[in-house]
Structure 1
Amino acid sequence: MQTYDLIIVGGGAAGMLCAIEAKKLAMNKVLLIEKDNELGGALSLGNYNISNELKITGKYYKKYLIEEFEKFDIETKLNTMVLKIEEDNSVLCTSPANGVEKIKGKKIILANGAKEGSRKAVNMVGSRCSGIYTVGMAKKIFSMDMIPGRKILIDGSDTLYMIEKELKRSNIDVVGIISNTEDIETYGLTKDIYVNYEIKNIEGKGRVESVIIGKEDEEVQIECDTVLFARPQLSDGLVAMRSGIKLNPKTTGPQVNEDYMTSKENVYACGNGIYIHNYIEEIEKECSELIYKICR
């Protein structure tokens, strides 16, 4: 079994930053494991500002970060899914190239990032028709020079900033936004805000045709061909859960102490994997602090 001084799970911003900082502090054998076929994570589709200090998009920051990453001798496994961390802190993972394998890490960092709440997660009802997406999926569709739909109803507004440019550029008709408050940023996409309404039913044969929303005894039927969920992002605690690591019920990610250590000895976590950060500077600071604590 191969052994590394540090194994990092996740090749997004937090994972790459941790790897870079570890090499700067002369940690020798560092391995970064990423489930996708390229590094970058959520940065890859981020054409919106991620900085509190400068105007920097996720895509621009990814380019800069990969240039920094490539300056160091950091071993990387792409297309590799981490299944769990076992009792002896060996990482069980699988890939098309190597099948199932175990890799030992003296220290391990979970940098899994965030995930979106799915239709199932928000307990949605209705027909099993196409045209029901999260904002993240809509961004992937836009990146393929396609559009998710022509008449879109949006449920929530937390992640609307991620796609407002694409919606405007594609001249998509946003027929309404369902929100629990009137005080939301609509980016000029629509004037129809349905405050405190809930989706009662999604109707359609093959494709979404209409949505019935309700509030108390009132029901409204809205014609549309697409429903987008713009709900808050959640920390991805799947690997931690499989590994028997204690989760934070408020964030759904692994719970950490002041040293960023999880409930499993020598297994740490950082970035959006422990809570959703507002700006990239927060993640940069956190990763720097974590690697310093590990190396001291």
Structure 2
Amino acid sequence: MATDAVLSDTVAKPDHIPESLVFDFDMYRDPALVANPHERIMDIHRNAPPIFWTPRNNGHWVLFGHQANFEAARDVETFSNEIYPREQMDAIFGELEKELGRIPMAVPINLDPPDHTKYRQPLQRVFSPKVIEGLRESIRELARKLISQFADKGECELMNALSEPLPVQVFLKMLGLPLERLAEYRKLTREHLDAIGSSNPMDSLTSMQDVAAAMRPTILARKDNPQDDIISMLWEVEIDGQPITLEDQENYGVLLFIAGLDTVMQGIGHGVRHLAMDQALQAKLRVAPELIKDATEELLRRYTFTIPPRR
């Protein structure tokens, strides 16, 4: 998102919130956060309360400390994954779908236990360590191929040359989506991520419909003609003792589509940027390549790029 993006409107502070706990922060459009996320986070750490209320994006609380986030993420009775209470969500979607048609939901991330567990278990099967280990050599071969295209030049524009094509091609192959539609799928992903920060909540819902529509022909084709891919594997699972439905497949598809076509790409970009700015770490890893695995884990931890909202 551009650094000159317009901040969201502010809302009035509720009377029960003391002024000492108010800090003006727009999590989607804050210019300093977009320009240099970690520098801005450290600035907030120094100047804001560890738990504060911001008047942006309709007003909400931000839990800034590790302990607060740790506890909130595990207290599903108090802090729900569901955007609205289930009955309210069903009523809202029921009315919207009369006009828009079916709206897929990204599951299981927007569910609380026990539903979260019920929908997560099928994904644990298709993303098991054994399945992923079987992809190791093909991923390495693709990485070598992409790197060989710019290695002799001594430089590249990393995101276009490696960070995007590597995970996106791997993901499309895993899911069973056609590689020739890669540019179209990436465009849909960018539109969806932009819609999340839109002032119009309908933008996000219609973008999920667009993603589901783009995947639907492949999903339907795999039901009758299974291949060696995740969509085919999901057609074989049961949810709560019942065969998986097209609606279930589209719900999973929206989640996997956005995750596969954006998050890994961003992780590679942030990690390599860190290495580019830390010459000493580069030298250390060249001398002791056995440390690369640990360095990778730490870079993923430091540059996490998902925000866990709770209601």
TM above 0.5: no
Smaller-chain TM-score bracket: under 0.3
- Which is strand-richer, 1 or 2? 1
Q: So what's the TM-score if we normalise by structure 1?
A: 0.27
Higher relative contact order (CA 8 A, sep 6+): 1
- Which is helix-richer, 1 or 2? 2
Q: So what's the TM-score if we normalise by structure 2?
A: 0.26
